[in-house]
Amino acid sequence: MTKYIFITGGVCSSLGKGIAASSIGAILEAMCYKVAMQKIDPYLNVDAGTMSPYQHGEVYVTDDGAETDLDLGNYARFTDSELSKLSSITTGKVYLNVIERERRGDYLGKTVQVIPHVTSEIQRLIRSLSDKVNPDVQIVEIGGTVGDIESIPFLEAAREFSLSNKNNTIFIHLTLIPKIEVAGEYKTKPTQHSVGVLRQIGIVPDIIMTRISGTLSKEMKRKIAMFCSIAEEDVFEAPDVDSIYKLPIIYTQQGLQDKIALKLSLASNKPNLKKWEEIISIVDSKKPKISIAVVGKYIKLQDSYKSVYEALRHAAIANKVELNIMKIDSEEIEKNPENLTKVINQADGILVPGGFGSRGIEGKLAIIQIAREKKIPYFGICLGMQCMVIEYARNVLKIADANSSEFTETSNPVIHLMEDQYSIDRKGGTMRLGVYECNIKKGTLAEKIYGENIIFERHRHRYEFNNKYEDQFEKAGLIISGKYITKNLVEIVEYKDNPFGIGVQFHPEFKSKPFKPHPIFKSFIENAYKYNIEKK
């Protein structure tokens, strides 16, 4: 029978529930338990696909094409949990299902209400994942902050769920212990209030995890335990760390795994954290430093390119180098050419990630041109690959008005809209999404990186390479090294006379893990380090 862990958050948002949930999942897997991960987002959007990165960070994509919250990326990096459309629940998805049922007459004339119909649908979606995956433990993270009006139906559904799954369900509450700088002391009162709100709903947390910048004293533990009606040994620290990959080890050192096992009546197997210990050993060691410029339009928000940054860190760990990520706003490159010179002089590699819209494109094209001409390692992802193609068309093929039809009307759309996209009259869930096959040409950089000729990668885009220009590009030296043969779509392009210059239409960052870096990222960092050595 599946055991369930519900993780809630209190005091404020952005406490790191996703990282805490992922770390717990990693520990349970290290104890030889099969884990399923699920995220509940209380917003009314059906999925995250139509939301700006400034609103909600990056959109993570699963193999089956679900556009989800970025926390699923954390789950993927920390665990081997099978992630799919069933791993993501939103208010929009819940209400859409309920309303469709009501329209079909499934409720037999009843008045449709939040309780029991909405809460029952939430519980059905939770069970649908465990029915498919059959895990030993399912971790359900409830997004938002306790006290938010949007979260109430989900918390009520979790309370009801626990009643029908007694002895197989626990609640872990992540909360903040703020430090009042003027007084120079930490305060537990916000945690007490947060748990108080939970108890009003009918949920008493089994375990409290406290985000704290320092150390949780015995007195603070005692106060939290007393006022929150739990035992002192059920209060744990969720400390600030310089690397999130230390958390499975830190939580294990506190004995969190034994407490979870006890409360869920699981065997307290000793977790095998060898792979995590090896990673941290490299992270904490002294290493040569390289700088990678990530050039995008959503740079101001850390979470906009979360998976890209983490994939770079994974590759840096594999290559045993210290990584300095230079976050470059492509609009600033356009406004001030001096910024371009500064980036080129400092960067050992340049990466242009995915995105949408014309803002900042000319800045990206300018930096790609110099990277190509100076043979600085370049890696383009999705839009970054399309910009690589546009720049090559303008400056090598000498097609002055070469562009993407996404940005402007042009007589030379080297990037254009897929034919099956023209008739679509809505935005949500209509791009090329999820995993597709890619056939790699022999003797190419792509084949050298992957070591195989058929790969499967995830996509999230509408616009494609225009095959009308394929011969022109290849005659001019741009290698088309990967294709989705079924629809003759270009997936990978690379420079002919360049140690490392590659663009991919897919999103390889979604498949990278700290102990299994994605091969393209690994090769990119390896070549950036070589460039760093050679330019000295």
pLDDT digits (tens, 9 = 90+) for 404-419: 999 999 999 999 987 7
Say which CATH class 286-417+464-481+489-535 falls into. Answer: alpha beta
Compute the distance between CA of residue 468 and CA of residue 466 in angstroms, rounded to an integer: 5
**pLDDT exceeding 70 applies to what percent of the chain?**
98
More confident residue, 127 or 300: 127
DSSP for 357-418 reads: SSTTHHHHHHHHHHHHHHT--EEEETHHHHHHHHHHHHHTS--TT-EETTT---S-EEEEE-
- Give 163: exposed, middle or buried? Use CB within 10 Å, 0-12, 13-18, 19+: exposed
CB proximity list for 100: less than 8 A, separation 6 or greater: none
Report pLDDT for 536: 67
Distance, C-alpha 206 to centroid of its chain: 28
Cβ contact 465:414 at 8 Å: yes
Asked, colleague to colleague, whether 3-173+250-279 and 286-417+464-481+489-535 share their fold, the answer is yes
| Catalytic one of 314, 416, 461, 507 | 507
Q: Mean pLDDT of all residues in the chain?
A: 93
For 116, residues 6+ apart whose C-beta sits below 8 A from its C-beta are none
Kindly state the greatest CA–CA separation across the chain: 77
pLDDT at 339: 84
Q: For residue 35, what pLDDT is reported?
A: 98
Contact yes or no for 224/191 (Cβ under 8 A): yes
52 pLDDT more than 90: no
102 included as an active-site residue = no
Read off the pLDDT of each residue in 27-53 and give the average, rounded to a whole number. 93
pLDDT score at 298:
87
- Spans of all domains in the chain: 3-173+250-279, 286-417+464-481+489-535
Please check whether residue 39 is in contact with residue 72, taking contact to mean a CB–CB distance below 8 angstroms.
Answer: yes
pLDDT of 196 above 90? yes
Span 295-319, pLDDT tens digits: 998 888 888 999 999 999 999 999 9
Across the range 141-168, mean pLDDT stands at: 93
Give me the half-sphere count of Cα atoms (radius 13 Å) on the Cβ side of residue 330: 26
Q: What is the pLDDT of residue 336?
A: 82
Question: Does the structure show a pLDDT above 90 at 5?
Answer: yes
Residue with tokens 């000793």: 270
Q: Per-residue pLDDT for 342 more than 90?
A: no
In angstroms, what is the C-alpha Rg of the chain?
25
User: For this structure, is 507 an active site residue?
Assistant: yes
**What confidence score (pLDDT) does residue 76 get?**
97
* DSSP string computed for 238-301: EE--S-GGGHHHHHHHTTHHHHHHHHTT---PPP--HHHHHHHHHHTS---EEEEEEEES-TTS
Model pLDDT, residue 133: 96
Catalytic residue among 173, 509, 518, 526: 509
What are the structure tokens assigned to 55, written together? 């609103």
pLDDT classification of 271: cutoffs 50, 70, 90: very high
Task: Please state, in angstroms and rounded to a whole number, the distance separating the CA atoms of residues 528 and 305.
Answer: 20
Which of these CATH numbers, 1.25.40.10, 3.40.50.620, 3.40.50.300, 3.30.750.24, describes 3-173+250-279?
3.40.50.300
Active-site annotation holder among 121, 334, 382, 438: 382
pLDDT score recorded for residue 335: 83
Report whether pLDDT(183) > 80.
no
521 touches 312 (CB < 8 A): yes
> Quick one: tokens of 330?
């492509």
pLDDT exceeds 80 at position 292: yes
Q: What's the mean pLDDT in 181-189?
A: 82
pLDDT at 420: 65
- Residue 49 DSSP one-character state: T
Q: Is the pLDDT of residue 28 over 70?
A: yes
pLDDT in tens, 252-269: 999 999 999 999 999 999
User: pLDDT band at residue 444, thresholds of 50, 70 and 90?
Assistant: very high
Q: How many percent of the chain have pLDDT more than 90?
A: 82
One-letter identity of residue 521: F
Output the CA torsion 217→221→224→228 (10° steps): 170
pLDDT at 461: 92
Evaluate whether 520 touches 508 at the Cβ level (below 8 Å): yes
Q: If pLDDT is split at 50, 70 and 90, which confidence band does 359 have?
A: confident
Kindly provide the b/e burial profile for residues 271-281, where b requires at least 16 CB atoms within 10 angstroms of the residue's own CB.
Answer: bebebbeebbe
Confidence of residue 384 (pLDDT cuts 50, 70, 90): very high
**Cβ neighbours for 130, distance < 8 A, ≥ 6 positions apart:** 2, 4, 36, 138
What tens digit of pLDDT does each residue of 455-498 get?
A: 999 999 999 999 999 999 999 999 999 999 999 999 999 999 89
- Residue 158 · residue 6 · CB < 8 Å: yes
Residue in this structure with the two tokens 């040994």, named with its chain if needed: 233
| Separation of alpha carbons 205 and 198, rounded Å | 8
- Answer whether residue 223 shows pLDDT above 90: yes
Q: Three-state SS for 51?
A: coil
Q: Is residue 427 pLDDT above 70, yes or no?
A: no
Residues 6+ apart with CB under 8 A from 80: 29, 35
Identify whether the C-beta of residue 518 lies closer than 8 Å to the C-beta of residue 511: yes
Of the pLDDT bands very low, low, confident and very high (cuts 50, 70, 90), residue 20 is very high
Is pLDDT of 137 > 70?
yes
**Residue 247 amino acid letter:** L
User: Average of pLDDT values for 424-445?
Assistant: 85
Distance of alpha carbon 331 from alpha carbon 197, whole angstroms = 45
Angle at 148 between CA 143 and CA 153, to 5 degrees: 70
Would residue 509 show up in a list of annotated catalytic residues for this protein?
A: yes
In the predicted model, what is the mean pLDDT of residues 325-343? 88
Task: Kindly tell me if the per-residue pLDDT of 426 is higher than 70.
Answer: no
Q: Which residue has the tokens 């958390």?
A: 247
Structure tokens given for 100:
């469709």
